[in-house]
Amino acid sequence: MDTPTPPTFWMPTGASTIAPGVDHTLDVINWICYFFFAVILALMVYFVVKYRHRKGERFRTDYPHHNTPLEIGWSILPTIIVIGIFVVGFRSYLDIYTAPKNAFDVKVTAQKWGWTFQYPNGAQSDDLYVPAGQPVRLVLRSSDVLHSLYIPDFRVKRDIVPGRYTYAWFQCDFPTGQPGKEPRNPNAARVEGALDEAQRHALFCTEYCGTGHSKMNRYVYVLDEASFGEWMQKQSRWIEDIPEDQLWFKAGPKLFARCSQCHSLDGTDGIGPSWKGIVERAKAYPFVGEGKKYGTWEDYVRTSILVPGDYVVPPYANAMPTFKGQLNDVAIDALIGYMQHLDQLDPKTGKLLPTLDPETAQPRAAGATK
Ligand code: HEC
Ligand SMILES: [Cu+2]
């Protein structure tokens, strides 16, 4: 395949190696359906006219009797057709289910209501980044309920069942441009019939049996091998590159994006308690203080993040996933700093107030354009 297959009436752009096979199967089934639809409809109209009731006639023909050749014919012919569909479908099915041995593994965690993608070198991202021209295997797990990963352009869809690993794989040979680069037109593939240079692929959750699955919309970026390696390196280091005193506002908002489905900053109740007033609240817990279970409130927050079930804040459920192995000490420090500066954050977006300088987090001078 040299180029992605352009979108058709039924299907979006086909950008993975299995897309042609899936589309072919669909085409075969569709054409069989069109054919029989036309034949059956034509015969029906013909019979309706031919055998219509006429005045003065009680029955125009006898009751129908057996017609052995006809009955054998309409049993055998469909069986052959269905076996044909099975063969075509089974070949794609085998391709889709067996990941090649040399596949690049990405760990995917689905949770209410978002995705986390983890790469072999420890890097993590909210959107999925994959190398081009190489099979990629997604190792899927859920930290709460049933989810389902769907990448229409790759013809990949797999349920994610709590307590069980499932797998999906694909190979896309077409780099979609650099990370963070917005496509000129998000529908470019549909409009121009070919992939825009920076075209990204939509990724959805299709398990619509809860309030937030429809918000689990992300993108897939396919990078050429060199850019992908570079991206992965940078991604695993991003937080280490930030000076300590700037962590709370440079790393905090990005990290908070992983907590915001359950925690608000403005006092609104969610799946978990709002972080509004969390520092005072944590300091006042009877088990926080010198000589107590947690020496400091920071200790308590740290434990809450790594071992959420250690103390379950009433009346909330023990519903928080652990971030052990996902957030390192620097990230936890950034979050603790973030909680101490809630007054300097926009409680709606979780980002730095627009009046503060995003470089230094100092109040901006009046009229400053930065
Ligand atoms: C799936 C929902 C969910 C996500 C995501 C989540 N939490 Fe929680 N969190 C909860 C719930 C529910 C509680 C209350 C029960 C408990 O203490 O475990 C809680 C409690 C807490 C507490 C204790 C709050 C208090 O008032 O004592 C802290 C601190 C906390 N979470 C931090 C975080 C951080 C940091 C993140 C993101 C890195 C995060 N949580 C992501 C659901 C979540
Ligand atoms: Cu979901």
Q: How confident is the model over 141-165, as pLDDT tens digits?
A: 998 889 999 999 999 999 999 989 9
Nearest to 345 by CA among 334, 330, 332, 329: 334
Q: How confident is the model at residue 367 (pLDDT cuts 50, 70, 90)?
A: low
Looking at residue 198, its pLDDT comes to 54
Among 304, 310, 312, 318, say which to mutate for ligand 1: greatest number of ligand atoms within 8 Å of CB. Answer: 304
In a domain, 50, yes or no: yes
Q: How many domains does the chain have?
A: 3
Closest residue by CA, ligand 1 atom 28? 304
Q: Is the minimum distance from the CB of 4 to ligand 1 under 6 angstroms?
A: no
Between CA 247 and CA 243 the distance in angstroms is 6
Q: To the nearest whole number, what is the mean pLDDT of the chain?
A: 85
Judged by its nearest atom, the ligand closest to the C-alpha of residue 215 is 2
* CA 193 – ligand 1 centroid, Å: 45
Range of the domain at 337: 244-344
Domain CATH number, residue 70: 1.10.287.90
Q: How confident is the model over 313-347, as pLDDT tens digits?
A: 888 988 898 888 778 888 899 999 999 999 899 88
- 44 and 155 fall within a common domain: no
Closest residue by CA, ligand 1 atom 37? 259
Q: Is the minimum distance from the CB of 304 to ligand 1 under 6 angstroms?
A: yes
Residue of 244 and 180 predicted with greater confidence? 244
Q: How confident is the model over 265-311, as pLDDT tens digits?
A: 998 888 899 999 999 999 999 998 888 899 999 999 999 999 998 88
Between CA 225 and CA 274 the distance in angstroms is 42
Count of alpha carbons within 13 Å of 297, Cβ hemisphere only?
14
pTM: 0.63
* Residue 183 burial by Cβ neighbours in a 10 Å radius (0-12, 13-18, 19+): middle
**Least confident window among 39-48, 155-164, 252-261:** 252-261
Between CA 188 and CA 199 the distance in angstroms is 7
- Residue 370 clears pLDDT 50, i.e. is over it: no
CB atoms within 10 A of CB 217: 13
- 111 and 203 fall within a common domain: yes
Looking at residue 114, its pLDDT comes to 86
* CA 109 – ligand 2 centroid, Å: 10
Percent of residues, the chain, with pLDDT higher than 70: 91
- Residue 189 clears pLDDT 70, i.e. is over it: no
Residue ending a domain, choose from 237, 270, 301: 237
Count of alpha carbons within 13 Å of 44, Cβ hemisphere only?
6
Q: Are strands 201-205 and 136-142 parallel, antiparallel or unpaired?
A: unpaired
Count of alpha carbons within 13 Å of 341, Cβ hemisphere only?
26
